[in-house]
Amino acid sequence: MTRFVALGDSLTEGVGDPHPAWPNGLRGWADLVAALLAERDPGTEYANLALRGRTARDVATEQLPAALLMRPDIATVWAGGNDILRPVLRLDDVLGPVDVALGRLTATAGTVIVFTGFEVTGSPVLGPVRARVRELNAGLRVLARDHGALLADVSGREEWGDRRLWAADRVHPSALGHRRLAALVAGLLGLHPSAPQPRPLEPLRAGRLSHTLAEEARWWRHHVAPHVARWATGASRRDLVLPKWGVPVRPAGASPWVGFGGNDVDATSAQSR
């Protein structure tokens, strides 16, 4: 039996990949990876402890103890995105908790994967955020090396620069982006050829300036302003108090997993048409 436990924030919870059959209405890359693992080993068990709004310290203090009790064979840690968006960034407040999590998990789990942050931004206004992420990523690479963890590196600007890989909020991957993340993790776990790499996307046609400006205004109105308000009031942290898979479940042959698996990960080319 393989037991896979995912820790993190909204990126691991699955925000950006809506699915009506899931407990929180979201699927995401971790659920796709769990299905791939279940194809190889029907006894696979899977828990996803990630919740939106959580900081690196939240992951280490709230999710890590539960994960350790589950004694995972495979564990993933993706944290720091919410810390990056704070007015003041203290790298030690991010790297310290991740260091603790990796240290505890690598001592018990056979395979531990830690994610870097995306070094792309959806608007020129967010350029300074990229510099923060780059600095954080340098520290995460050191931690992965020191603890012997695998690194899921999503920092490539060319690889992740296509807007079709991003949800409307430009912060979370789209359903297409989550499939690409699942393929990345599947490769690190040696699940190929069950999970073939997504095919390259067709080039995008350049849009008219007026359309681009209208999209930018729409993004600020519908995503940036509400996000700032929710962050200031802590509303996002109150959205969910329980993770969607807080106790291990078996994806093999169980609802809502019935009907999808490895082929679902390789849907990039179909969705890009």
Question: Which pLDDT value is given to residue 240?
Answer: 60
Q: Report the interhelical angle of 127-147 vs 91-106 (nearest 10°).
A: 30
Question: Which pLDDT value is given to residue 169?
Answer: 82
Distance of CA 265 to the CA centre of its chain: 15
Q: How far apart are CA 149 and CA 112, in angstroms?
A: 5
Question: Which pLDDT value is given to residue 268?
Answer: 38
Q: Tokens at residue 100, please?
A: 């603790």
Question: Which pLDDT value is given to residue 233?
Answer: 61
Q: How far apart are CA 55 and CA 259, in angstroms?
A: 34
Closest among 3, 102, 18, 83 to 48, alpha carbons compared: 3
Among the four given CATH numbers 1.10.3720.10, 3.40.50.1110, 3.50.50.60, 3.40.1350.10, the one describing domain 3-202+243-266: 3.40.50.1110
| Domain limits, the chain | 3-202+243-266
Question: Which pLDDT value is given to residue 76?
Answer: 98
Tokens 């840690």, located at residue: 77
Q: What is the pTM of this model?
A: 0.82
Q: How far apart are CA 47 and CA 54, in angstroms?
A: 17
Question: Which pLDDT value is given to residue 269?
Answer: 33
Grouped pLDDT means (10 residues each) for the chain, 273 residues: 95 93 91 93 95 94 97 97 85 96 96 94 69 94 98 92 83 92 94 58 59 55 56 58 89 69 45 31
Closest among 105, 61, 92, 97 to 79, alpha carbons compared: 97
